[in-house]
Amino acid sequence: MVPVPKVRASHLFGSGKTDELKSRLEEAEVELVLVDGPASPVQQRNLEKAWGVKLLDRTGLILEIFADRARTREGVLQVELAALSYQRTRLVRAWTHLERQRGGFGFVGGPGETQIEADRRAIDDQIIRLRRQLDKVVRTRELHRAARRKVPFPVVALVGYTNAGKSTLFNRLTGAEVLAKDMLFATLDPTMRAVRLPTGLKVILSDTVGFISDLPTQLVAAFRATLEEVLEADLILHVRDIAHPDSTPQAEEVTRILGELGVDEATPLIEVWNKVDLLPEAERAAHATQADRKPQVFAVSALTGEGLDALLGAVTAVLDEERLDERLEVPFAEGRRRAWLHAQGIVTAEAEAEHGHVVTVSWTPRQKAEYLAL
């Protein structure tokens, strides 16, 4: 780790530090250098030339990881879109052939089109094409979400910093086999499975992309669609790697990003302190005691299953409210109200009477209030 007290426009580092690092890189036979922050195209080119190595800044590294992890059509398109947006910013003075020109067009002569203009135009055309394809995929996902709304299963979204163990927890609760590895951004594509709670209520569990601090702007925009499930969630499970030394700053970053995404503050949230199995015994007991004292905080191990029964009980308490069985008389003229009852999936019986429908429902106080407000 090399701190940079003053950023130099040409080489990022001063000449002395650049030479010193060159010697250290040659001694260690380093082939790849990572810059934990932004590096301009000029800085990247000059340092690669001075050191004879490949250099990636923070955005470039994240894009490399994303490209390796994406699996679904949407994930691949989003990676390509983000990569092109990033590449477009690297064109200025980044290559050696930028001053070449092609012939002018039309009747008026002129200097023609420089190579950089041609490359930028090609990238812009590709970005437009990708965005059109991505719009189609997003519309398809919206149709799927609309279909799920008609089957009123509550949605539970897993969120958290990257590598917090969300996919392992997802697999443990659903019996699925989603890729779960000890690496950054193992999950890039939203995965959904049905889970039946102890009371019999069926919910949809959604695994999402991991968050990370200082995520570049173009990546936030490109991957927003993968986080749309969080915006529509009835309950959010914030999964934390409680054994990580930076667990608290990571949690604060996740909270900040949720706010930026526009997640409703009224959406219930349960904090899941994962990976307690990695803690020393004394520290593990202390965390368990601390979690017990906090409402909606649960210490668990997705790997061993420890604490998951209590977590599921809390999820059940939030989503499966006390239900009331009632009979309603819905006049024929109030078809909208009858349709709403069926859309909510709370009708247990229905019969036709002289002036309308006699509908038997099993609903929560919240649903009853919504019905009366129609």
Run of H or E residues at 251: helix 247-261
For all residues of the chain together, what is the average pLDDT? 79
Mark residue 362 as left, alpha or beta (left: phi above 0; alpha: psi -120 to 50; beta: remaining): beta
CA 33 to chain centroid = 27
Q: For 15-43, what is each residue's pLDDT tens digit?
A: 888 888 889 998 888 888 888 888 888 88
Q: Give how far the C-alpha of residue 242 lies from the chain's centroid of Cα atoms, to the nearest Å.
A: 20
Q: Summarize the confidence of residues 253-275 as an average pLDDT.
A: 87
Mean pLDDT on 140-152? 66
Across 269-306, b (16+ Cβ under 10 Å) vs e yields bbbbbbbbeebeeeebeebbeebeeeeebbbbbbbeee
DSSP codes joined into one string, 186-209: S--S-EEEEEE-TTS-EEEEEE-P
CATH of 153-319, one of 1.10.1040.50, 3.40.50.300, 3.40.50.720, 2.60.40.10: 3.40.50.300
Supply the pLDDT for residue 241.
95
111 against 252, higher pLDDT: 252
Tokens of 116: 């950089």
**Cα–Cα separations (whole angstroms), residue 266 to 66, 145, 160:** 32, 21, 18
Tell me the pLDDT band of 269, cut-offs 50, 70 and 90.
very high
What is the structure's pLDDT at 233?
83
Which tokens belong to 78?
Answer: 């989003």
| Model confidence at 86: pLDDT above 90 | no
Confidence of residue 83 (pLDDT cuts 50, 70, 90): confident
Q: What is the pLDDT of residue 266?
A: 78
Task: Return the minimum-mean-pLDDT range out of 4-13, 164-173, 277-286.
Answer: 4-13
With 0-12 / 13-18 / 19 or more C-beta atoms within 10 angstroms meaning exposed / middle / buried, residue 31 is exposed
pLDDT of residue 252: 92
Is the model more confident about 351 or about 8? 351
As a whole-number percent, the residues of the chain with pLDDT over 90 amount to: 20
Of the given ranges (103-117, 231-245, 269-283, 291-305), which has the lowest mean pLDDT?
Answer: 103-117
Better-scored residue on pLDDT, 370 or 305: 305
Confidence of residue 188 (pLDDT cuts 50, 70, 90): very low
More confident residue, 344 or 335: 335
Amino acid 70: pLDDT = 66
Residue 189, pLDDT > 60, answer no
Chain segment 205-251, per-residue pLDDT in tens:
888 777 776 666 666 655 665 666 677 788 999 999 999 999 999 99
pLDDT of residue 345: 76
Whole-number Å distance between alpha carbons of 168 and 107:
65
Task: Find all residues with CB under 8 Å of 69, minimum gap 6, and list them.
Answer: 75, 185, 186, 187, 188
Task: Answer yes or no: is pLDDT of 176 > 70.
Answer: no
pTM of the model: 0.65
Condensed to tens digits (0 to 9), the pLDDT of residues 89-132 reads 776 544 444 444 444 444 444 444 566 777 788 888 888 888 88
Would the pLDDT of 57 be above 80? Answer: yes
> What DSSP line would sit under 15-69, residue for residue?
HHHHHHHHHHHHHHT--EEEESS---HHHHHHHHHHHTSEEEEHHHHHHHHHHHH
Spatial separation of the C-alpha atoms in residues 93 and 96, rounded to whole Å: 8
Q: Which helix (H) or strand (E) holds 368?
A: helix 365-372
Q: Tell me what pLDDT residue 109 has.
A: 43
Domain boundaries, the chain: 15-65, 153-319, 324-372
How many helices (H) and strands (E) the chain has is answered by 13, 13
Instruction: Compute the average pLDDT of residues 165-187.
Output: 65
Q: Is the pLDDT of residue 374 over 90?
A: no
Instruction: Indicate if the pLDDT at residue 186 is higher than 60.
Output: no
Q: At 1, is the pLDDT very low, low, confident or very high (cuts 50, 70, 90)?
A: low
Percent residues over pLDDT 70 in the chain:
79
